[in-house]
Structure 1
Amino acid sequence: MRAGAGDGDQIQEGPARPAGRRGPRPAGSATISLVAEAAGVSRATVSRVMNGSTTVDPELAARVRAAAAALEYEPSVAARSLALGRTGNVSLVVPDLANPLFQGVLRGLSQAAGKAGRRLLVVESNEDPEEELVLALEARRNSDGIVLASPRAPADRLRALRARLAPFVLVYREVPGLGAPSLSVDNQAGMAEIVAHLTELGHRRLAYLAGPEGSAANLERLAALRALATGEPGFALTVLPCGSMFDDGHAVAGAVAECGASAVVAFNDMVASGALTGLHERGVRVPEEISVAGFDDIPFARHTRPPLTTASIPKSELGRQAWDRLQALMSGESGGYNVRFQPRLLVRDSTGPAPR
């Protein structure tokens, strides 16, 4: 006779039955009932052993594991998650996986989460704010917490969905009153360093290759440039609608060459590298005829022709710190204080003295 599913699991339940007596079956088709029958224990005992419980007698646990191995039993991930009240997953939602900026965050977050035994799910919204929210909610249902990297959704929509998204962490964005930890970049300070570098070289006519309209970073960088232009006598700023990718910068190279600017500041390094290529194809020399600066310091920024002047931010460190805060929130602790990282200007060969 089998014992019950309670404390009786600490005693001998019943003799194990031969696992193979029913003949061969497809791998992974065994059920928890078959494992329980083969091991001579209750289904509850099998469940506890498969979930790593330490309350089961070691001899019984060994029988269960042996029967499960013989039957090639694969526990249901969904059932296990339901029983434990957690999935073992965390999610990262990004607007564009092709952007190396987010790949740096992905690497830092993935490594940190992996060391803690968590699987990382990655979701791309393709720069669509509405789709981003739908995907974020779905990701949250399938994970224990999420990281939103540079979310494009309006601040009020994020606040309205706060309870359904929690626990979550913001990266590359700060939303006042949201109540979620954020790791952002001081875009104003980064732009101030770039402009100071260019004005020291004699540049007074600048063009800005604007990023996606829904990007908070783009709005902050543009606002910083406009404020700096207002405070500099004889400073002229031209804003050219662009985007966030290489092709966007390449497509606007003609407008850059014709706008009369002596220096260009791009929304990011991807745009800047596209503009560099487009200008080279048009015979425009960089930096002799026009200087070009980017933002982010993605890995191949140093390998463009010429190497790109840019503002560097600690991408992998942002991912690691995002994990630290998310892990704290998932453990019922405080996510800690918000952090705003100071970009570091890296002067390379794509910027030079303003042409006479």
Structure 2
Amino acid sequence: MARSRSGVRRVGATIGDVASQAGVSLSTVSRVMNGSKTVDAALAERVREAAASLGYTASPLARSLVLGTTQTIAVVVPDLGNPTFQGALRGLSDGASEQGYHVLVADSHEQADEERVLALDARRRCDGIVLCAPRMPEEELAALLPLLAPAVVINRIPEPPAVGDGQEASSVPSVVADYEAGLTGLLQHLYSLGHRKMLYLAGSSQASSNQSRLAAIREFQASNPDAAIATSPCGVGFEDGHGSAQVVVDSGATAVLAFNDLVAMGLLSALGERGIRVPQDVSVTGFDDIPFARYTTPPLTTATIPVEQLGQQAWHRLSALLNGETPERDLSFGPQVVPRGSTGPAPER
């Protein structure tokens, strides 16, 4: 209950109660309670004190109407079932909630042609967007980003707009993992163990992160001509890795680099079913270091990415854009190799 200046107690403080106690207009109370910076600091403090003494809080809907915002951001991911994206979303959501924002999540279910539609639909419902669209063609991404602004991109660096296309040449902020450096580290780890015949189980041919991995393989082979690294189409899920066991056996490779941990875990399961020992017969590496990787049999050698930090840094940049500030520079995380029991010395053949 609230007590007005006349001494009459009311159930539930209203904006009128606050205006009366502070001696200001209703519009002034509305501007102060909804975060407007146009009110004199001393006057604003008086309003906040009155609101606190009466137990009054502004409704989120009223705040949105006054400020012209939804206090919501959107995140588009290719697969929410992947623990990597769950970790990034957790980091982003924690940062957003601290500033009073809600997070709307859209999952494209690995359907690249759905990413553009999902992103546009989500952006209409929120104030800004974080986009993780690894398979979207560069030209389509370049055309889409101006329609999504303010936006931040995760795990790929958008190409700057072409000169003369009517857009600014500056790129949209991005936060990425350096997949090329990560796979190079895994290749060096296997090479140091004596492996010279390796197999890479590739992800989607459209994915920018897969292209980065392939670039790492080409550069590594150029520097180490005695290493033979074959590539086989695979996928991004547990079942894809499980289904690749025969390809691995037929390749004669002594070490396999899976596109990610889920693929590697599926492969470990299938190899175990066939009586193929890891790492005595063949070594296996993953990528991402999801929470389950250390609990496989044997524990999975992988490259770790600080996914929660990736999400946090994406939020910092989007928050800056939402507040009319200049975001921090683009950030690239260098994955670190985590050797575990799934890799060992190359067997003698």
TM-score for both structures, normalised by structure 1: 0.80
Task: Letter of the 1:52 partner, please give it.
Answer: M
Task: Letter of the 2:317 partner, please give it.
Answer: R
Q: How much does 1:158 deviate?
A: 1.5
- The one-character-per-residue Cα deviations of 1:100-136 (angstroms, maximum 9, x if unpaired) are 1101101100111111111111110111222111111
Equivalent of residue 164 in structure 1, options 147, 166, 174: 147
- The one-character-per-residue Cα deviations of 1:65-102 (angstroms, maximum 9, x if unpaired) are 99x99xxxx9684x753442111001111000011110
Q: How much does 1:214 deviate?
A: 2.4
**Is 222-231 or 132-141 further displaced after alignment?**
222-231
Counting only pairs closer than 5 Å after superposition, residues 132-147 of structure 1 correspond to structure 2 as 132-147=115-130
CA distance in 2, matches of 1:283, 1:309: 20
Q: Are the aligned partners of 2:153 and 2:175 in contact in 1 as well (CA < 8 Å)? A: yes
CA distance in 2, matches of 1:344, 1:269: 14
Aligned residues: 320
Task: Letter of the 1:311 partner, please give it.
Answer: A
Distance verdict in 2 for CA 1:253–1:52, change over 3 Å: same
Structure 1 residues without counterparts, runs of 5 or longer:
1-11, 20-34
**Is 283-292 or 209-218 further displaced after alignment?**
209-218
What secondary structure sits across from 1:108 in the alignment?
helix
Are 1:236 and 2:228 an aligned pair? yes
Aligned-residue sequence identity (percent) comes to 47
1:28 matched residue in structure 2: none
2:195 matched residue in structure 1: 203
What secondary structure sits across from 1:337 in the alignment?
coil
CA distance in 1, matches of 2:296, 2:85: 20
2:167 matched residue in structure 1: none
TM-score for both structures, normalised by structure 2: 0.81
Q: How much does 1:49 deviate?
A: 4.9
Equivalent of residue 307 in structure 1, options 299, 303, 310: 299
CA distance in 2, matches of 1:50, 1:166: 26
Are 1:104 and 2:71 an aligned pair? no
Are 1:286 and 2:278 an aligned pair? yes
- The one-character-per-residue Cα deviations of 1:254-307 (angstroms, maximum 9, x if unpaired) are 211221111000111111111111111111100000000011111111111100
**Is 261-270 or 334-343 further displaced after alignment?**
334-343
CA distance in 1, matches of 2:173, 2:146: 14
Q: How much does 1:200 deviate?
A: 1.1
Task: Letter of the 1:315 partner, please give it.
Answer: V
Structure 2 residues without counterparts, runs of 5 or longer:
162-170
Are 1:269 and 2:265 an aligned pair? no
Task: Letter of the 2:33 partner, please give it.
Answer: G
Counting only pairs closer than 5 Å after superposition, residues 164-183 of structure 1 correspond to structure 2 as 164-177=147-160, 179-183=171-175
Distance verdict in 2 for CA 1:273–1:49, change over 3 Å: same
What secondary structure sits across from 1:161 in the alignment?
helix
Q: Are the aligned partners of 1:95 and 1:149 in contact in 2 as well (CA < 8 Å)? A: yes
What secondary structure sits across from 2:80 in the alignment?
coil
Task: Letter of the 2:208 partner, please give it.
Answer: A
- The one-character-per-residue Cα deviations of 1:302-344 (angstroms, maximum 9, x if unpaired) are 1111001111111111111111111001111112211111111
Task: Letter of the 1:170 partner, please give it.
Answer: V
Equivalent of residue 348 in structure 1, options 333, 337, 340: 340
Q: Are the aligned partners of 1:93 and 1:123 in contact in 2 as well (CA < 8 Å)? A: yes
Are 1:117 and 2:100 an aligned pair? yes
Equivalent of residue 335 in structure 1, options 302, 320, 327: 327
CA distance in 2, matches of 1:151, 1:271: 17
1:4 matched residue in structure 2: none
Are 1:185 and 2:177 an aligned pair? yes
Q: Are the aligned partners of 1:297 and 1:310 in contact in 2 as well (CA < 8 Å)? A: yes
Q: Are the aligned partners of 1:36 and 1:46 in contact in 2 as well (CA < 8 Å)? A: no
Q: Are the aligned partners of 2:31 and 2:66 in contact in 1 as well (CA < 8 Å)? A: no
Distance verdict in 2 for CA 1:83–1:277, change over 3 Å: same
What secondary structure sits across from 1:212 in the alignment?
coil
Counting only pairs closer than 5 Å after superposition, residues 315-326 of structure 1 correspond to structure 2 as 315-326=307-318
What secondary structure sits across from 2:284 in the alignment?
strand
